[in-house]
Amino acid sequence: MIYLEMNHVRKSFGDLEVLKDISLKVEEGEVLSIIGPSGSGKSTLLRCAAMLETMDGGDLTYLGEQAVTIQNGKSVYAKPAVLRKIQENFGMVFQSFHLFPHYDVMKNLCDAPIHVQKRNRAEVEAQAEELLQKMGLTGKEKAYPCQLSGGQCQRVAIARALMLNPKVLFFDEPTSALDPELTGEVLKVIKSLAEMNMTMVIVTHEMNFAREISNRVIFMDQGVIAVEGTPDEVFDSENARMQGFLGKFREK
Amino acid sequence: MKLSMILSQLSTGMAGTISIFVLTLVFSLPLGLLIAFGRMSKNRIVSGIFRLYISLMRGTPLMLQLMVVYFGPFYLFGMNIGKWRFPAIITGFALNYGAYFAEIYRSGIVSMDRGQYEAAKLLGYSKGQTFVRIILPQVVKRILPAITNEVITLVKDTSLAFSISYVEMFTIAKQIAAAKTTMVPFVAAGIFYYIFNFVVAWVMELLEKKFSYYH
């Protein structure tokens, strides 16, 4: 089943055209990585998919439900009530976590399920305990985000997103704010999600990681998809921009 | 005139001072939040109206505003303003302080990271829930020092009620001083305001400590 589909997506900020006719599909259980130089539009694409940015053109569909349709070449969004329903299909993990600093770890995880989804508290807390254990965060229930390391914060943020049982999980450069050691522990968690067949779209600068865990990779450059395919196809591509980009990474 | 006599006369005005202080806060703190929403409205007309309101309230003397609120109904509508004095003071103070508090709220709200809104949106919080559960608690922590400043100013501003002949503590101090040609009531009044503000600052510091469990 196709979980996420976007067609002909266009997005401009003022005169700057950030996305130029981008189409992509994500199937159930698939891990899609989006790589590319800064300013290529990766994050904007992800934020359009998550409806944090309004796209100018193109459509957006989750599990067959249309969130955005094209009418006369322009994007038309569904009614707010419909969008809110569709939004339950996905969650997002941000580069700088965006945990709620005034809530402890447990409340960060449980507040939305209890007060937004109106689920049973005991059941929600049991799920939270289980997730914290998986994330290696047992014992941190009562800690506040400011008492945690960046890696721990990001793992809490991943757990928080998983609490709502999303069908698709977006990652917007989840390790870019972390040092190499902390990056490792977050990537390990994402890898374990991939092993559980979680459907994920990951914008990342971790090339080895992208190559290892993805089913498919998209290389974006200047607002278009320059190369797309299996990790091997993309990383071994003859595309000049792709080679130039990878070359800079190998030099590091 | 003995000091104890002066103090007992002043104390009859303290109730007035304290009730102006308390009631002004009770009304202006929520009012300020509403004004802040109006000022931040996406509707240009609405935000323009509140911008003008804040500009007028901050740009003219509170003493003058009190007189307008008190005498206005008489001059405009010929109303009997006999029982209107105290309500007029609270109305005038609340309208004025609401404008200042609105700008303090606004400073706190616009300083919030956009990421907090985005995270809340993706977790399904409605706009109202986002504000009440996520944004406001953090805003309150950020603006407490600025609120403290304003509350301390309010303690001293209560003396402006004399401008429409309301008898609060400072009015009495002036009367005794004039009648008995002595500075003692002014010194006593000064000490009263200082102690009052000392307590206010202490309470606000406790509040700040209460919010210091995170940063």
Number of Cβ within 10 Å of residue B50's Cβ equals 20
Does residue B191 lie in a domain region? Answer: yes
pLDDT at B42 over 60: yes
Q: What is the mean pLDDT of chain B?
A: 93
Helix B3-39 to helix B85-110 angle (10° resolution) is 50
pLDDT averaged per 10 residues in sequence order, chain A, 252 residues: 94 94 94 93 95 94 94 92 93 96 96 95 95 93 95 95 95 92 92 94 93 94 93 91 83 60
pLDDT at B1 over 90: no
Average pLDDT over residues B109-131: 96
Among A99, A112, A146, select the one facing B124 at the smallest CB separation: A112
B115/A100 Cβ within 8 A:
no
Instruction: State the Cα angle at B14 between B12 and B18, rounded to 5°.
Output: 140
Chain B CB contacts of A100 under 8 Å are: 116, 119, 134
Does residue B89 lie in a domain region? Answer: yes
Which of B114, B124, B120, B132 minimizes the C-alpha distance to B37?
A: B132
Chain centroid to CA A101:
21
pLDDT at B48 over 70: yes
In the DSSP assignment, the letter for residue A178 is S
Number of Cβ within 10 Å of residue B155's Cβ equals 20
Q: List Cα–Cα distances, A112 to A93, A116, A132, A161, B23, in angstroms.
A: 15, 5, 16, 10, 36
CA distance, residue A207 to nearest chain B CA (Å): 26
Instruction: State the Cα angle at B210 between B207 and B213, rounded to 5°.
Output: 145
The range of the structural domain enclosing residue B200 comes to 3-210
Chain centroid to CA B61:
14
Domain of residue B160, CATH code: 1.10.3720.10
Whether ipTM exceeds 0.85: yes
User: Which residue type does B164 have?
Assistant: I
Is residue B117 less than 8 Å (CB to CB) from chain A?
no
Whole-number pLDDT of residue A73: 85
Does residue B215 lie in a domain region? Answer: no
Task: For residue A148, give the chain B residue with the closest CA.
Answer: B214
Which of B58, B67, B31, B54 minimizes the C-alpha distance to B160?
A: B67
In the structure, what pLDDT confidence band is assigned to residue B80 with cuts at 50, 70 and 90? confident
Does residue B174 lie in a domain region? Answer: yes
Number of Cβ within 10 Å of residue A3's Cβ equals 20
User: Which H/E stretch holds residue A225?
Assistant: strand A224-229
Cβ pairs A/B, distance under 8 A: 58
Does residue B160 lie in a domain region? Answer: yes
The residue among A52, A90, A100 with the most chain B CBs within 10 A of its CB, best to mutate, is A100
The pLDDT tens digits for B158-193 are 999 988 888 888 889 988 988 888 888 899 999 999
CA distance, residue A252 to nearest chain B CA (Å): 31
Number of independent structural domains in chain B: 1
Whole-number pLDDT of residue B166: 87
In the structure, what pLDDT confidence band is assigned to residue B197 with cuts at 50, 70 and 90? very high
B137/A102 Cβ within 8 A:
yes
Chain A CB contacts of B140 under 8 Å are: none
Task: Write out the residues of chain A at the interface with chain B, using a CB-CB cutoff of 8 A.
Answer: 50, 52, 84, 87-88, 90-92, 94, 96, 98-102, 111-112, 115-117, 144-146, 160-161, 164
Does residue B25 lie in a domain region? Answer: yes
User: Which H/E stretch holds residue A226?
Assistant: strand A224-229
Task: For residue B139, give the chain A residue with the closest CA.
Answer: A102
Among A91, A98, A146, select the one facing B116 at the smallest CB separation: A98
Whole-number pLDDT of residue A251: 65
A52/B118 Cβ within 8 A:
yes
Given a contact cutoff of 8 angstroms between Cβ atoms, the answer to whether B130 and B117 are in contact is: yes
Does residue B188 lie in a domain region? Answer: yes
State the DSSP string of A75-124: EEEPPHHHHHHHHTTEEEE-TT----TTS-HHHHHHHHHHHTS---HHHH
Structure tokens at A11: 């997005």
Chain B CB contacts of A144 under 8 Å are: 213-214
pLDDT cut 90: percent of chain B above it: 72
Among B115, B124, B213, select the one facing A94 at the smallest CB separation: B115
Whole-number pLDDT of residue A166: 95
Does residue B120 lie in a domain region? Answer: yes
What 3-state class would DSSP assign to A199?
strand
Structure tokens at A22: 């981008």
Structure tokens at A5: 């589909």
Chain A CB contacts of B214 under 8 Å are: 101-102, 144-146
Task: For residue B215, give the chain A residue with the closest CA.
Answer: A146
